[in-house]
Amino acid sequence: MAIPNDHNTGLMARLASGARKATDLIMGGQLSDMTPAQAVQQAESRMASVPSFDADYVGIEMMMGSSGKPLRTRAQIYMKYHFMMQEGLISTALRSNVQMALGGHETTGETLFMEPKPKISSADKKMVDELAPVIKMLNDSAHSMCFSASGFGDAYARIYTVPKKGIVAFDHEHLFSPLVQPYEELGKTVGYQVSYGEKIGGVKLSHLDVVRLKMPRMLILPQMKVMENAQKINLEETNINRMIPVASPVGGSLMEAAEQDFDNLYAAVRGLTGQRIASSKEEVLLALDLSDTTKDQQKKIVENTKKLLTAMKERAERQVAEGVYSTSRMFNLMPTWGQKMLTQVSSLQSGATGQNLTVDDVLFHAKKLAGTLGSDISQLGFADLISASLGDGGTNRTSATGAERARILRTAYTRMVNDTIDRHMLAKYGFCWPDAERPYTINFYGSIAALEAEKQASAERAMNKGAVMIQLLAQMRDVGMPQEENALLLGKVCELDTDLAEQFAKGLANAKPPAQPGFGGGEDGNDMNLIPTAGGNEEEEEQDNG
């Protein structure tokens, strides 16, 4: 009996598929074609055959200590950040970033709002309402902790809990960020070590005693790490129960990429100040003709001249300090005889003069620093440079960088809020909600926040797009093309997704025809429902009014 062709074709296809899967297994194919045992075998065998001498070696020491970015200790990095945060331009920019992210109510100053989700149980609703004291503590610390986190990359708060009561105190002012060394396992913070100096010593705290506001790490900051061996052990370990806590490196600061720009601005400002001080100095060299005089006369003439010039200098300084104007002319007498006289030899001035000084270099570095910090220079005290097209505060609503930093700050702070609520729930009720089952949402008062402005602008554009789409669909319904042509028009011409275009085309095919004006309102389908004109039936009105 002959074997059918379709059977032969199916057998060959199965053989080809099996050969392809075997080839993929050898060459490193997709995991969907493997069993778990095959995937483990493939992962171990393929890399085991790679010779180590063929690898192009790149060490951490190469990346961290090159290109003008030397390795620094944790203390050196935090010292630089603390110095930068105390400068006016940096402080204003960070405060602007925090304010754009958090906003705040005009009268109460509240930033954080908790709203229960719809359709939650009455028990969850009651527990959410009882979180009001915790939200009050978080509102009081929101701006301060976000400012510290934006500068140092991390902010911490010591929480004090009482069983059956929850959190009773939230201290965010005494845990100075540079003094806290967090320890992590697989990206999760497991504990802290706080240092208070050599004499006092340090203290270890668990993750239940402290909450951490951790900013996301955007780049690797060159720094000395003492836990490289532990990191290597964790990288090679496959059992997560044998992981070693490693010290979290410094990072996450919004000033990470602004150090060089700050140094350039600082040098330019100091250079400008030094030039102005030098140009303000004017020294005069005087010569006294003391020929044909005795030693006593020479000594007395020099002393008297010195006293005269010193008195003139002190008088001028005193008048400037007191703000008192001189109302009369001052006369200073110097007796001369023969050829004895006071001669001015030359005027000794500095190399730079006030007329040659400009602030162009300072403004350039200030603008570059402001751009790195995600702010417009006009919002940092240089109001004369504001763009006329934006208006006052316009960059708060158009800056994509400001909105992105606002999103980063909000996301990090929301994560810390959830951690704080978890500590409260564990102490008071003995359990906490998983992230996917939280019966509340955290909202910010964002009427003046850049992120909220971007969201509103996106919503307006979406509504405008929807309005245009509705008009287009109405016109397509009136044209009456078949469903296939409508799907083709929406997909190819309007560039909608294929599924969405087909759904719209199906809806157009089933759409009801538009109602004719003035018809279809009554029970018999012929009710006109016309609005009576004014004064059109005065006799009937008079009869009704009796």
pLDDT tens-digit readout, 491-508: 888 888 888 888 988 888
Report pLDDT digits (tens) over 3-52. 445 555 555 555 555 555 554 544 455 666 778 887 777 777 777 776 66
Q: What is the mean pLDDT of residues 180-199?
A: 86
Shared domain for 489 and 409, answered yes or no, is no
Contact 377, 366 (CB under 8 A): yes
Confirm whether 419 is domain-assigned. yes
Query: What are the structure tokens assigned to 210, written together?
Result: 């402290």
Given 349, 377, 393, the domain boundary residue is 349
Percentage of the chain lying above the pLDDT 70 cut: 73
Give the largest CA-CA distance in the chain: 149
Contact 213, 413 (CB under 8 A): yes
Contact 439, 124 (CB under 8 A): yes
Residue 525 has what pLDDT?
Answer: 47
Of 2-11, 194-203, 301-310, 318-327, which range is least confident? 2-11
Q: Cite the beta strand spans of 122-259 per DSSP E.
A: 154-162, 166-171, 180-185, 188-195, 202-206, 210-214, 246-247
Q: Which long-range contacts does 463-467 make (Cβ < 8 Å, 24+ apart)?
A: none
DSSP state of 72: B
Please tell me which residue, 449 or 114, carries the higher pLDDT value.
114
pLDDT over 50 (residue 260):
yes
Q: What is the mean pLDDT of residues 429-452?
A: 79
Q: What is the mean pLDDT of residues 247-254?
A: 89
Shared domain for 96 and 240, answered yes or no, is yes
Q: What is the mean pLDDT of residues 174-191?
A: 90
pLDDT over 80 (residue 416):
yes
Confirm whether 546 is domain-assigned. no
- Counting the structural domains of the chain, the total is 4
Residue 402 has what pLDDT?
Answer: 73
Using alpha carbons, list the distances in angstroms from residue 344 to 101, 284, 316, 349, 383. 65, 7, 20, 14, 47
Full residue range of the structural domain in which residue 479 is found: 460-509
pLDDT over 50 (residue 472):
yes
Using alpha carbons, list the distances in angstroms from residue 445 to 104, 188, 282. 6, 29, 57
Q: Packing angle between helix 450-479 and helix 88-102, nearest 10 degrees?
A: 40
Of 7-16, 137-146, 260-269, 456-465, which range is least confident? 7-16
Confidence category of residue 398, pLDDT binned at 50, 70, 90: very low
Confirm whether 193 is domain-assigned. yes
Measure the CA–CA gap between 250 and 413, rounded to whole angstroms.
18
Please tell me which residue, 239 or 160, carries the higher pLDDT value.
160
Confirm whether 433 is domain-assigned. yes
Shared domain for 131 and 228, answered yes or no, is yes
Q: What is the mean pLDDT of residues 297-305?
A: 86
Of 31-45, 384-398, 454-468, which range is least confident? 384-398
Confidence category of residue 522, pLDDT binned at 50, 70, 90: very low
pLDDT over 50 (residue 154):
yes
Shared domain for 248 and 324, answered yes or no, is no
Shared domain for 440 and 464, answered yes or no, is no
Q: Walk across the sheet containing 210-214 and list its strands.
A: 166-171, 154-162, 210-214
Confidence category of residue 546, pLDDT binned at 50, 70, 90: very low
Confirm whether 98 is domain-assigned. yes
Residue 400 has what pLDDT?
Answer: 67
pLDDT over 90 (residue 196):
no
Residue 9 has what pLDDT?
Answer: 54
Given 349, 377, 392, the domain boundary residue is 349
Report pLDDT digits (tens) over 62-81. 666 555 677 788 889 999 99
User: Of the ranges 158-167, 234-243, 296-305, 526-535, which is most confident?
Assistant: 158-167
Residue 166: alpha-carbon gap to chain centroid: 32
- DSSP states of 277-309: HHHH-EEEEEEE--TT--HHHHHHHHHHHHHHH
Measure the CA–CA gap between 179 and 182, rounded to whole angstroms.
10
Confidence category of residue 297, pLDDT binned at 50, 70, 90: confident
Shared domain for 339 and 225, answered yes or no, is no
Residue 457 has what pLDDT?
Answer: 77
State the average pLDDT for the chain: 78
Shared domain for 312 and 344, answered yes or no, is yes
Q: Which residues pair with 213 in a beta bridge?
A: 155
Query: What are the structure tokens assigned to 388, written together?
Result: 């006329």
Residue 29 has what pLDDT?
Answer: 54
Measure the CA–CA gap between 432 and 426, rounded to whole angstroms.
6
pLDDT over 50 (residue 388):
no
Shared domain for 209 and 292, answered yes or no, is no
Strands 282-288 and 112-116: unpaired
Residue 339 makes CB contacts below 8 A (sequence gap 6+) with 289, 291, 292
Of 213-217, 224-228, 257-261, 485-489, which range is least confident? 224-228
Shared domain for 440 and 487, answered yes or no, is no
Measure the CA–CA gap between 294 and 138, rounded to whole angstroms.
85
Residue 397 has what pLDDT?
Answer: 47
Contact 234, 177 (CB under 8 A): no
Confirm whether 161 is domain-assigned. yes
In this structure, the number of other CB atoms found within 10 A of the CB of residue 481 comes to 15
pLDDT over 90 (residue 363):
no
Confirm whether 365 is domain-assigned. no
Q: What is the mean pLDDT of residues 148-161?
A: 94
Please tell me which residue, 246 or 34, carries the higher pLDDT value.
246
Of 21-30, 38-47, 147-156, 224-233, which range is least confident? 21-30
Confidence category of residue 111, pLDDT binned at 50, 70, 90: confident
pLDDT over 80 (residue 347):
no
Confidence category of residue 182, pLDDT binned at 50, 70, 90: very high
Residue 343 has what pLDDT?
Answer: 61
Measure the CA–CA gap between 448 and 357, rounded to whole angstroms.
39
Shared domain for 152 and 301, answered yes or no, is no
In this structure, the number of other CB atoms found within 10 A of the CB of residue 513 comes to 8
Shared domain for 44 and 114, answered yes or no, is no
Residue 464 has what pLDDT?
Answer: 92
Nearest alpha carbon to residue 264 among 364, 135, 409, 408: 364
Using alpha carbons, list the distances in angstroms from residue 526 to 30, 518, 523, 532, 533. 67, 9, 8, 17, 20
Shared domain for 192 and 313, answered yes or no, is no
- DSSP states of 237-250: ---GGG---EEPPS
Please tell me which residue, 302 or 545, carries the higher pLDDT value.
302
Of 72-81, 111-120, 328-337, which range is least confident? 328-337
Confirm whether 536 is domain-assigned. no
